[in-house]
Structure 1
Amino acid sequence: MYSSMLRVPSEVLAQFDGLQRQVEQLLGLRGATSIRGSRNGFPAINMGSTPDAIEVYAFVPGVDATSLEVTVDKGLLSIAGERASVVPAEGTTNVYARERYAGKFKRVIALPEDADPAQVQAQYRDGVLRITVNKRESSKPRRIDVQ
């Protein structure tokens, strides 16, 4: 008796999905046309840890290294910059799709507590920004001699 009350027709779920897509599009959450509005954030990052450091790889193809700004403040790592548009001027080409975003961007990443903000290095090569944040010496495991 109760199982029949819990069944929802599939067309109702499809209508809810369509309504959700429409609301997201109206609010600018879907099909964003700028880097700031992208769902997953730009730049895409890989982040990992070694015994000595935290390593962040930010994938920023087409960005000039001089436009990149990396800062660390209060445990937050910020990556900011600007990627120029490669789309030709209006009127010369009909653009049907624009999936590569252009414009200013900023990505903020929370660092672990053992990160040392005084020891940060950043290197840019072939569209990949590698940021190494050394760990504090006090957070590293150390051997204690028993007497």
Structure 2
Amino acid sequence: MNSLVTRGSLFDDFFKDFAPGFYVRPLHGDNLPSPAQIKVDVQESDGAFTVHAEVPGVSRDDLHVSIDGSVVSLRAEVRQHDQQSEGTKVLRSERYFGSVARSFQLPAEVDAAQAKAKYDNGVLTLTLPKKQAGNAQRLVIE
């Protein structure tokens, strides 16, 4: 997966050094997250796995979780843009859309029918009961 937009460029650096008072930083300031930037903690108990994934700034409807056997796939669609209000002058507007995805394999297969997902304050929490066999299924996030 590659980033759709890069924020730094030689053109921007030139104007930042040439006329630092006129350089306007991006309103969002950061690149799209790379898959490695989706921080994941995985814990195992006797009957289930618990996964905590950091996906800040993404709405619950833009998160997608799928389970296929022991493989868990996370996908987040990033939709950030700036809105102009009447009576304002836009000096620089940066909009970007994109998605990041991350998959990982657990040591045992997951019972997708009993799996649960919850998203609160930028942290996605998955409760994944263990099972011997399973099929891919998309979870509804609470």
Q: Distance in 2 between matches of 1:132 and 1:41?
A: 22
CA deviations 1:7-65 (Å, max 9, x no partner) are xxxxxxxxxxxxxxxxxxxxx9xxx9443xx3x62421111112221011111111110
Aligned mates of 1:103, 1:115 — CA distance in 2 = 29
> Is residue 52 of structure 2 the alignment partner of residue 70 of structure 1?
no
> 54, 58, 72: which is aligned to 1:59?
54
Distance 1:114 1:102, change over 3 A: same
Q: Deviations over 1:96-124 (max 9, x none)?
A: xxxxx963111111122253333211011
Q: Distance in 1 between matches of 2:31 and 2:129?
A: 36
TM-score, L = length of structure 1: 0.54
* Paired amino acid for 1:76: V
Distance 2:81 2:68 in 1: 33
Q: Based on CA coordinates, which of the two structures has the bigger radius of gyration?
A: 1
C-alpha distance in 2, partners of 1:62/1:125?
11
Letter in 2 for 1:45: V
Whether 1:110 aligns to 2:105 is yes
Do residues 50 (structure 1) and 45 (structure 2) align?
A: yes
C-alpha separation between the residues in 1 aligned to 2:81 and 2:40? 23
Secondary structure of the 2:108 match is coil
8 Å contact from structure 1 (residues 54, 132) kept in 2: yes
Share of identical aligned residues, percent?
29
TM-score by length of 2: 0.56
Structure 2 CA distance for aligned equivalents of residues 88 and 103 of structure 1: 18
Q: CA deviation at 1:94?
A: 5.7
Equivalenced residue count is 99
SS of aligned partner of 1:105? strand
Q: Which runs of 5+ in 2 are unaligned?
A: 1-5, 7-29, 133-142
The DSSP-based 3-state class of the residue aligned with 2:75 is strand
Change (3 A) 1:55 1:102: farther
Counterpart of 2:120 in structure 1 is 125
CA distance in 2, matches of 1:94, 1:105: 25
Instruction: Name which of 77, 81, 95 aligns with 1:82.
Output: 77
2:130 is the counterpart of 1:135: yes
The separation in 2 between residues aligned to 1:113 and 1:133, in whole angstroms, is 10
Q: C-alpha separation between the residues in 2 aligned to 1:107 and 1:64?
A: 17
